[in-house]
Amino acid sequence: MAAPQILIVEDEAVTRNTLKGIFEAEGYVVLEAEEGEQMHRVLKNNSVDLVVMDINLPGKNGLLLARELREYANLPLIFLTGRDNEVDKILGLEIGADDYLTKPFNPRELTIRARNLLHRVMVQHEKENRNGREFYRFNGWTLNLNSHNLINPEGEEFKLPRSEFRAMLHFCENPGKLQTREELLMKMTGRELKPQDRTVDVTIRRIRKHFEDHPGTPEIIATVHGEGYRFCGEIE
C-alpha cells in the first residue's frame, strides 16, 4: 500500500520544513505549497490524501482557499494556524475543515490527529460504498454517495462539504431516529462536543437552506429542542 501523501500549505519556510520533517519521520510523502496558486497546481498534478493548511497566507488566506478546495474536492483538511479565536475556528469548520489546531503545537498530537483523520476517511469511504449502494432517495431528493452531491427534484446538484455530507449520510442511514448533537459531531468530524461548540447547528442550518430554498419540500430535518435533530424524510 502506497504511503499517504500530505500537502502542507504554509508560507513560513521554517514551519514548513519542520512539518515536512515531522510527517516524513512518520512515513508520509510530503508535498509543499506556499500559497494558493501553488496549492491548486500541486493538487492538480498529484494524488493528495490530506491537506494541512495555515490561515495566514499571502494573497488569498486559508479560509478562502479552503472554500475553493471544497468546490472540487472532499480531501481531509486540517487547519494549523496561529489564529486561535473562536470565530476563525467555527468559520473554518463551517467551510469544511475536519480539524483545527493552533500554534505552537505538539508534533505528536498533530501526527495522531492526522493519522486518525486518514483512518476515519478510509473507513467512511468503505461505508459509503458498502453493498453497492450509490444513492439515497427521499421526497424527490437524492443524496449521491459517490459524488457527495445533494440533488433536488429538478436535477440541480449541490456539492456538499465533507461535514454536511457526513451529517446527511448519517441521517439517511437512521431515518426517524433522534440524533443528539454529540452523535452528529462525532459522525461529522470525529471530535467530542465541547461547551459552546456550534458546529453541528451551523452545519444543519446550511443543509436546511437547500430544502428551504426549494418550494414544496416538506420538513426534512426537524429540531428536537434540548435534545438534537431528527431526519423526517421518507427514504425510498
When pLDDT is averaged across residues 124-144 and rounded to a whole number, the result is 78
Using the predicted structure, report yes or no on whether residue 121 has a pLDDT greater than 80. no
Using the predicted structure, report yes or no on whether residue 123 has a pLDDT greater than 90. no
Nearest to 185 by CA among 103, 98, 111, 88: 98
Q: Hey, what amino acid is at 60? A: K
Q: How far apart are CA 35 and CA 10, in angstroms?
A: 7
Predicted local confidence at residue 74, as pLDDT: 76
Q: What separation, in Å, do the N-terminal and C-terminal C-alpha atoms of the chain show?
A: 38
Which of the four pLDDT bands, split at 50, 70 and 90, describes residue 131?
low
What residues pair up with 31 in beta bridges, in sequence order? 7
Which domains are assigned to the chain? 5-127 (3.40.50.2300), 134-231 (1.10.10.10)
Distances from the Cα of 139 to the Cα of 6, 53, 153, 154, 182, angstroms: 40, 38, 8, 12, 27
When pLDDT is averaged across residues 44-72 and rounded to a whole number, the result is 90
Q: Which helix (H) or strand (E) holds 162?
A: helix 162-173
Helix (H, G, I), strand (E, B) or coil at 200: helix
Using the predicted structure, report yes or no on whether residue 207 has a pLDDT greater than 90. yes
What's the sign of the alpha-carbon dihedral 107, 108, 113, 116?
positive
Taking the model in full, what pTM does it have?
0.59
Helix (H, G, I), strand (E, B) or coil at 61: coil
Contact criterion met (CB below 8 Å) for 162 and 206: no
Q: Hey, what amino acid is at 204? A: I
Using the predicted structure, report yes or no on whether residue 1 has a pLDDT greater than 50. no
